[in-house]
Amino acid sequence: MSHLFYQSKSPRPFLERGEGIYMYDVNGRRYLDGSSGAMVSNIGHSNPAVLAAMRAQMDKSTFGYRLHFQTEASEALATKTAELSPRGLDRVFFVSGGSEAVESALKMARQYKLAIGQGSRFKVISRMPSYHGSTLGALAVTGYDPLTVPFAPMMHEMPKIPAPRAYLDGLDINDPATGLHYANMLEQKIIEEGPETVLAFILEPVGGASTGALVPPAGYMQRIREICDAYDILLIHDEVMSGGGRTGKFWGADHWGTVPDIISISKGFGGGYVPLGAMIARGDMVEAVLETGGFQHGHTYAGNPLACAAGLALIGEIESNNLIANAACMGDLLKARLKGLMNRYPFIGDVRGKGLLLAFELVSDRVTMEPLAAGLSAYQRLVDIAYDEGLIIYSRRTRGGLNGDHFLVCPPMIIGEDGIEEIMQGLTRALDKFAAEAGL
C-alpha cells in the first residue's frame, strides 16, 4: 500500500525521467507530454540551461529567509518580471504556486482599498465556470461546484457572472456585440451588489482548465476594463496558466492590450522545475499598502533563491530560443489540425484557444451543443485511452459541474512539426477507440 494519496484512486506508473516533450516511466514506456503536465512544463523537461542555473545556485544557497536576507536571484527575477509586465505593474511578490498567487492578489486588492479609505469594499466578482485555486480565498472566487460546494459553509462565497461561452449560446465570438453582451453582465452584477461593496473582478484572460481555453469575444476585455474603471473596481488578471508565453504572447491579455491592476502567475513561470509563482501589482498600490503598516500576508518559502534562479534561467531560455513565437506558430498549426478532426468525429463540438493553450469539447449534438451522456465519463475515458497510446492530455468536465467534457492539448512551447504530427496520430487512435467503445 502507498502511504501517499491525492484526489482519487487512479494509480499511474512511476516516472523515471523527462526529456524535452517526452516523459518515460520506469517500465521504459515513452509518453508525449501533450498537456505539459497541468500546463506547467512550458519549456519541456530537463532543460540543460535551467538545470545548470539551479546547480550553480545550489552551490551558493538554497534558502535565505526574506526577513533576514535579500538574494540576488530574487532581485534579478523581480526586475525581469517587472520588465515583462504591462506598464505601471512594477512590484513583484513571489509565492510558490497559483493558489498562493491568487490569494496574494485578493489580499493586496483589499489592503489597497483599506489604505485609500474604501474599507466597505470586500466582494470579488468572478465568473462561472472558473478556477482560481484550492485554498479557501481562491476557492471563494472559483466557479466550479464540485470543488466549492463541500466547503461553502467555511468561506464567504463571492458573486459570479457567466463566463463568455459564446459557442454554447450560439453567439459569434467575432461580433463586438457579443463581447458587450457578456461584459455588461459585470456592470449589472456590480449594481445589484452595490458598487460601494465591490472590491475587484478576477478573470483568466484565456481560460484554463475550467472553461477549456476559453477565448473572450471581441471587445470583451476592453469593456471589462472600462466597467472596472467606471466603478473604481480593481481588475485582477489570473494568468496562472495563460501567462508566461504559452498563448503566443507573454501575457494572455496582451492579445487585447488591456492592462489590469494586479496579475497572478505560476505554472509555466516555474516550468515544472521549481514551485514558483508571483503576484505583480501597480507600484502606487504597493506603496499605499506599505505606507499604512505593510502587506499583512506572506509565505515562508517566498522568493526562495533556488526557485528564482530557475525562473530567471527559464525566461532566458524562452527569450533566446524565441519560444513565444514558436508557441504562436505551432499553436496555429495544432489548432488547424484539431479543427480538421471535426470532419472525422461529429462528436467534437468546438475547438478553441490561443497559441498552445488549446482545447476541444465533446458533445452529443453539434447544433444544440448538448454534452455527451454523463455515463460515458468521456473526460476520464478518453484521457486513459490516450495515455495507453503514449499521449498525455488533460481533461475537465466543463459545464460548471456535472456534465460536459473538454480536453486541453497544450504541449511544451519547444514542440516542432514532428511533435504536432505525433500528437495528432496518438489523438486520432485514441478518438477512434473511444468512439468505438462509446458507440458514437
Residues that bind ligand PLP (CB under 6 A): 38, 97-99, 102, 131-134, 204, 208-209, 238, 240-241, 266
Instruction: Say how far apart CA 100 and CA 302 lie, in whole Å.
Output: 10
- Rounded least distance, CB 118 to ligand PLP, Å: 26
By beta-carbon proximity to ligand PLP, the closer residue of 301 and 347 is 301
By beta-carbon proximity to ligand PLP, the closer residue of 86 and 208 is 208
By beta-carbon proximity to ligand PLP, the closer residue of 98 and 137 is 98
Q: Which long-range contacts (CB under 8 A, 24 or more apart) does 415-422 make?
A: 415/21, 415/326, 415/330, 415/356, 416/330, 417/330, 417/333, 419/21, 419/32, 420/330, 420/333, 420/334, 420/337, 422/32, 422/391
Give the closest residue to 126 by CA, choosing from 177, 56, 198, 226.
198
CB contact at 8 A, 128 and 400: yes
By beta-carbon proximity to ligand PLP, the closer residue of 261 and 389 is 261
Instruction: Say how far apart CA 336 and CA 329 lie, in whole Å.
Output: 11
Q: Which long-range contacts (CB under 8 A, 24 or more apart) does 65-69 make?
A: 65/300, 66/298, 66/302, 66/303
By beta-carbon proximity to ligand PLP, the closer residue of 94 and 434 is 94
Instruction: Say how far apart CA 398 and CA 357 lie, in whole Å.
Output: 16
- Rounded least distance, CB 106 to ligand PLP, Å: 12
Instruction: Say how far apart CA 54 and CA 52 lie, in whole Å.
Output: 5
By beta-carbon proximity to ligand PLP, the closer residue of 133 and 217 is 133
Residue 353 sits at φ, ψ, to 5 deg, of 130, 180
By beta-carbon proximity to ligand PLP, the closer residue of 187 and 239 is 239
Instruction: Say how far apart CA 243 and CA 254 lie, in whole Å.
Output: 10
Lay out the sheet containing 89-95: strands in order across: 89-95, 277-282, 262-265, 234-238, 198-203, 123-128, 160-162
By beta-carbon proximity to ligand PLP, the closer residue of 147 and 180 is 147
- Rounded least distance, CB 142 to ligand PLP, Å: 8
- Rounded least distance, CB 408 to ligand PLP, Å: 10
- Rounding to the nearest 10 degrees, give the CA dihedral for residues 312, 313, 317, 323: -40
By beta-carbon proximity to ligand PLP, the closer residue of 99 and 403 is 99
Residue nearest ligand PLP, Cβ-based: 98
Residue tagged 449534438 (cell numbers): 365
Phi and psi based region of residue 35 (left: phi greater than 0; alpha: psi -120 to 50; beta: remaining)? alpha
- Rounded least distance, CB 79 to ligand PLP, Å: 24
- Rounded least distance, CB 197 to ligand PLP, Å: 24
- Rounded least distance, CB 240 to ligand PLP, Å: 3
Going from the C-alpha of 206 to that of each of 84, 165, 211, 226, 228, the distances in angstroms are 18, 12, 9, 19, 19
- Rounded least distance, CB 60 to ligand PLP, Å: 27
- Rounded least distance, CB 161 to ligand PLP, Å: 17
